[in-house]
Structure 1
Amino acid sequence: MRLHRNLCFAVIDGLHQIFNEDEYADKVIQTLLKRDKRWGSRDRAFVAETTYDIVRWKRLYAEIAEVKEPFNRDNLWRLFAVWATLKGIKLPDWKYFTNTPTRKIKGKFDELSKIRKFRESIPDWIDEIGSKELGEDTWTKELAIQNKQADVILRTNILKTTKEQLQNILFDEGIETEFIKGYPLALKLKERANVFVTNAFKDGLFEVQDASSQLVAEMLDVKPGIKVVDTCAGAGGKTLHMASLMENKGQIIAMDIYESKLKKLKVRARRNGVHNIDLKVIESTKPIKKLYNKADRVLIDAPCSGLGVLRRNPDAKWKLEPQFLDQIRSIQQDILQQYSKMVKSGGKLVYATCSVLPSENENQINAFLESEAGKAFTFVEDKKVLAHKSGYDGFYMALLEKH
């Protein structure tokens, strides 16, 4: 592979924004990819994948390169040199790579690879919590897969097409997919591709949604004509899934504290042909209290650490802080206490997170069931999805039923 100066500069600029200006990697990369209209798909893939790669392995590469944060531009070029050397890419004769110790880099990589926190490039405190909560063996396996690139998974919009039809339509657009056993609406791409430029996407025939995430709406057992509240809807991946399972009949109230996310859901709903969703911004407790004992189904897709989806958001591990984890556990329990009151007698509640830590998952459900509000519910089942076992995102979901 030959390195091109303008592409490498884009990567360095992106790393500066992510590491030094605390910007989110996905947003930075979206902006970078619009930088030069002459770039082809291979150029854009290089910028995106290289940036993500260096973000993912920041701790390991920084240790090898002997640089510390905040990184100046020379430091960032040293991280880049480590990345290129370990990928077997010949470094060009540029001033940034003068005196790069290629042999020393490989030797140091071999040495550090024996220590998990460096090998998997994870902060000490996350490594300690993961090991304590999941056990050494499970955590080691989970961390390893979280550093591998995630598959692209699509969810068929059954309001407009079938999985088989979608597969054929995508094939005609040059994208090959395969079915996944146990996931009725999922298609997995055989090779990575930009699916957002396809006519199938523009026509609302599918959404990009990981296989594990697709299990949540299935567990809630929604039916046409019922009233559902999605309490932490965000941009609405699960909301849209439920709408399609309900055949556009009944009502879904999609709530979130961020109006900007609900605006994205509105756009997505239009593209999906969904029209049974009402959007509500949570600005006070009033909209929640108005729904007490009114919903047949309630979904709490709770805010969490995101430790089950690090391979999609590798910068999250550098942005997380111990105090955030303490706060989020408190918020999760508070949400369970308040939002569970929306479920009417005989109704169902699903609590879900994209974390693999029991303290955010089954421990929260147990604490809720032992509380006054939880006494009105019966535990039905839960699913703990580990990425190293399933091959998809780490997730947790629990189904409760109100007496």
Structure 2
Amino acid sequence: MTPAARLQAAITLLEAIGEAAPKPADRVASAWFKQRRYIGSKDRRAVSELVWGCLRAQARLGWWLERLYVPDGARARVLAFALLEQGTSAEELLRLLDGGDRYGPPSSDAAEADWIARLAGQPLEHAEQPPSVALEVPEWLLPRFEAALGPQAEAELRAMRAPAEVDLRVNRLKATREAARNALAEEGISTWPGQWSPLALRADGRRPVAATRAFRDGFVEVQDEGSQLVALLTGARPGMRVCDFCAGAGGKTLALAGEMDNRGQLVACDVLEKRLERSALRLRRSGVHNATRRPLSSERDPWVKRHKGSFDRVLVDAPCSGSGTWRRNPEARWRFDETGLDELLALQASILESAARLVRPGGRLTYATCSLLREENEEQVERFIATREDFRLLPLAELWDDSMEGAPPCEGPMLRLTPAQHGTDGFFVAVLERAAPNVSEPDEAESREEEKP
């Protein structure tokens, strides 16, 4: 593709992502490129970098366009990003917009040429931008980040403007970390061990891991190192009965199966049946055969009542704001509001309360999110413990010694991982142990079930 054609492809893809909202941008882009298989790998990478650059700079680009009275849109954003961040000169950009390339953008008019000339040479981040604009965070959310992260809030939000690294989890069922690393090296992909997870490898750059034999043979899965720690801290072991209560597409289910060495019973539950079905291929590729999938009608499906007190480990990877994953999903930060957050908080509390019924006395309940907000994390756990005397919070240091080497990455009884401090996505994990059956809670929960029509 010519530079002008790449520019037009980026404009078209950015428009498609906007029109498909709230569908995730990566899924839209994947489908878009599949329909255009003639686009080569280098061109795909160049177009993707331009589009994701625009998504990561949405607030700052919008601020500049408004400042110059430029009508907002995909074309204006792509051109502005090329000027502000990629260092394209006004003259070079206008040459790409002269209409001489049949696959390039239409020619610029006088008004567009004027604002291009005025914008050229300016910095993407300007001293007059409000903090919420400069840090690419909704204004209403900024105080919540400051409350959760204190003086580190700005550094963490700046870190979330950058692309994420490519992390891999070695599948214990098929390979050691060294064997997986060697297999990837044979296909030209250099990796090095992760900092925290004993199963983590970090790839050198954004390489096509999914196209490798090591991936197809199930040696590795693409999974952020922080996400790997969630599964490890759950403490699943061979022979146990384990429930992944919000399994989704099965990333943590695969990790749990590895910790269980395919022995015991592993049940993957989710209310989104189609998403749960997508895990079947991943389970087969990874050689997992102790897992079953169980669609639920809601967090209070009758299945939960029938299996109360029957699991050694229950993992609740709760639906959340996803504020810890903005490096990977930059558009997600703009796709929920305060009402949506309040609804999530109520759902998280309901899921945690219901999933707790599955835990046997002496068993453990792990609550995790990929959020950095206190409301979704510490406050949910504190609220739950305050109403459940039969559950106690297990110290992180004790859990870490059981599964990992060295000191845990943070102090305190609960795990909080952040991009700037730990080089992972934002994650939160708390592990609770059930000491004895609670007399009133199960009856109360069951009565709510019986009241449903």
Q: Same-fold call, TM > 0.5?
A: yes
Give yes or no for the alignment of 1:125 onto 2:107: no
Q: Match for 1:362: what amino acid?
A: E
- CA drift of 1:112 comes to 4.4
Where does structure 1 differ by over 6 angstroms across 4 or more consecutive aligned residues? none
Task: Quote the offset at 1:19 in angstroms.
Answer: 2.5
Which one-letter code corresponds to 1:28 in the other structure?
V
Larger Rg, first or second structure (1 or 2): 2
How far does the alpha carbon of each residue in 1:94-113 deviate from its partner, in whole angstroms, 9 at most, with x for none? 12453343444544745346
> Aligned partners of 2:236, 2:47: CA distance in 1, in Å?
41
| 1:98 equivalenced with 2:113 (yes/no) | yes
Q: Find the aligned partners of 1:113 and 1:274 in 2 and give their Cα distance.
A: 54
CA distance in 2, matches of 1:34, 1:113: 41
- Deviation (angstroms), 1:56: 1.4
TM-score, normalization: structure 1?
A: 0.93
Cα deviation digits, residues 360-399 of structure 1 (max 9, x gap): 111110100011xx21111113211122100111110001
When the two structures are aligned, how many residues end up with a matched partner? 397
2:276 is aligned with 1:268: no
Give the distance between the partners of 2:14 and 2:141, measured in 1 at CA: 22
Residue segments in structure 2 that go unaligned for 5+ positions in a row: 98-106, 396-413, 436-453
Distance 2:333 2:431 in 1: 29
1:224 to 238, 245, 252: 238
User: Matched residues in 1 for 2:185 and 2:244: separation?
Assistant: 34
Q: Does 1:234 find its partner at 2:248?
A: yes
Q: 1:167 aligns with which of 174, 178, 181?
A: 181
C-alpha separation in 2, matches of 1:153 and 1:259:
27
Following the alignment from structure 1 to structure 2, what is the Cα–Cα distance between the partners of residues 142 and 26?
Answer: 23
Distance 1:396 1:365 in 2: 11
Q: 2:424 corresponds to which residue?
A: 392
Matched-pair contact (CA < 8 Å) for 1:154–1:206: yes
Partner of 1:16: 15
Asked whether the equivalents of residues 14 and 32 of structure 1 are also in contact (C-alpha less than 8 Å), the reply is: yes
| 1:331 is the counterpart of 2:330 | no
Partners of 1:322 and 1:11 lie apart in 2 by: 31
Residue 33 of structure 1 contacts residue 47 of structure 1 at CA under 8 Å; is this kept in 2? Answer: no
Corresponding residue for residue 82 of structure 1:
80
Whether the aligned pair in 2 keeps the contact of 1:354 and 1:393 (CA below 8 Å) is yes
SS of 1:298 mapped into structure 2? strand
Query: What SS does structure 1 have at the residue aligned with 2:140?
Result: helix
Say if 1:307 and 1:356, in contact at 8 Å, map to a contact too: yes
5+ residue gaps, structure 1: none
Question: Which one-letter code corresponds to 2:52 in the other structure?
Answer: Y
8 Å Cα contact 1:148-1:311 kept in structure 2: yes
Conserved? CA contact 1:112–1:118, under 8 Å:
no
Within 5 Å, which residues of 2 pair with 1:4-403?
4-22=3-21, 23-66=23-66, 75-86=73-84, 87-89=86-88, 90-93=92-95, 94=97, 95-96=107-108, 98-107=113-122, 109=124, 111-112=126-127, 115-135=130-150, 137-284=151-298, 285-371=301-387, 374-381=388-395, 382-403=414-435
Aligned alpha-carbon RMSD (Å): 2.0
Tell me, yes or no, if the aligned pair for 2:17 and 2:29 is still in contact at 8 Å. Answer: no
- Which stretch of the first structure deviates more once superposed, 391-400 or 48-57? 48-57
- The CA distance in 1 between the partners of 2:114 and 2:336, in whole Å, is 35
Contact kept? 1:3, 1:92, Cα under 8 Å? no
Greater shift, 173-182 or 390-399, is seen at: 173-182
Supply the distance in 2 between the matched residues of 1:110 and 1:45 (Cα, whole angstroms).
24
In structure 1, distance between residues paired with 2:132 and 2:2: 30
337-346 vs 50-59, which moves further: 50-59
Task: Provide closer, same or farther for how the CA distance between residues 320 and 270 of structure 1 changes in structure 2, counting only shifts above 3 A.
Answer: same
Q: CA deviation at 1:24?
A: 2.1
Secondary structure, counterpart of 2:239 in structure 1: coil
The one-letter amino acid paired with 1:156 is: V
Aligned partners of 1:384 and 1:395 also within 8 Å: yes
Deviation at 1:40, TM superposition (A): 2.0
Contact 1:355 1:361 in 2 (8 A): yes
Tell me which moved more, 18-27 or 390-399: 18-27
Cα pair distance change 1:112/1:60, threshold 3 Å? farther
Alpha-carbon displacement from aligned partner over 1:29-84 (angstroms, at most 9, x marks no partner): 1022224333221101112221111011111101112289xx97x73222111110
CA distance in 1, matches of 2:94, 2:38: 22
Q: Distance in 2 between matches of 1:393 and 1:188?
A: 13
Question: For residues 194 and 128 of structure 2, what CA distance do their matches in structure 1 show?
Answer: 33
1:3 CA displacement: 5.8
